[in-house]
Copies of this chain bind each other. A is one copy, B any other.
């Protein structure tokens, strides 16, 4: 153990920018969504995810994984959304254990109302701030970062299959 490879100034600059931007952007989006339609960024993500599927529904575990959330955390949020009438639960006939979260009509309506302002703010805060090159570097670089972390967690099982759905 000679010495730790500390971060150079240049590396620190990237690391700090990444951490700060993450916190700030998320907070701003959360704030706007709460003010405009009364839901959190987390809840917005759930609605978006559901609306991206053919039947506007998804199983709890599948949803939790897609949102990088814990199962218990999702149970809580789905309960909140259910109280608000934006989502309802549906049990599966073939597997009694399974539960589907289904986007309701009201949920779809709320999403359509929230989306324009949300996307506009995402653009204002980050997307339109970046140059094309920077945006591509982030997509490539952080995409690889994400892939590696997710790969580590689920390395043993074959992870080459994942029916993707375009999400907005």
Q: Which residues does A use to contact B, with CB under 8 Å?
A: 1, 4-7, 9-26, 28, 36, 68, 113, 115-116, 119-120, 122-123, 125-127, 129-131, 133-146, 148-150, 166-168
Q: Which 9 A-B pairs have the closest CB atoms?
A: A137-B137, A134-B141, A22-B22, A14-B139, A17-B142, A21-B142, A17-B143, A4-B116, A13-B139
- The smallest beta-carbon distance between A92 and chain B, in angstroms, is 28
A150: chain B residues within 8 A (beta carbon): 24
Instruction: State whether A21 and B146 are in contact (beta carbons under 8 Å apart), knowing that A13-B139, A15-B126, A126-B15 are contacts in the complex.
Output: yes
Given contacts A18-B138, A130-B144, A134-B141, 16 further A-B contacts (CB under 8 A): A1-B116, A4-B116, A6-B168, A7-B123, A10-B135, A10-B139, A14-B127, A14-B142, A20-B68, A20-B142, A22-B22, A24-B146, A133-B137, A134-B138, A137-B138, A137-B141
**In the complex the two chains form, is A23's CB within 8 Å of B68's CB?**
yes
**In the complex the two chains form, is A145's CB within 8 Å of B125's CB?**
yes
B130, B140, B143, B146: the one contacting A145 at CB < 8 Å is B130
**In the complex the two chains form, is B115's CB within 8 Å of A149's CB?**
no
Among A6, A68, A137, max chain B CB count under 10 A is at A137
**In the complex the two chains form, is B136's CB within 8 Å of A5's CB?**
no
**In the complex the two chains form, is B135's CB within 8 Å of A134's CB?**
no
A149: chain B residues within 8 A (beta carbon): 21, 24-25, 28, 125
Instruction: State whether A122 and B24 are in contact (beta carbons under 8 Å apart), knowing that A135-B141, A144-B129 are contacts in the complex.
Output: no
Q: A137 vs B116: C-alpha distance in the bound complex, in angstroms?
A: 28
**In the complex the two chains form, is A130's CB within 8 Å of B14's CB?**
yes
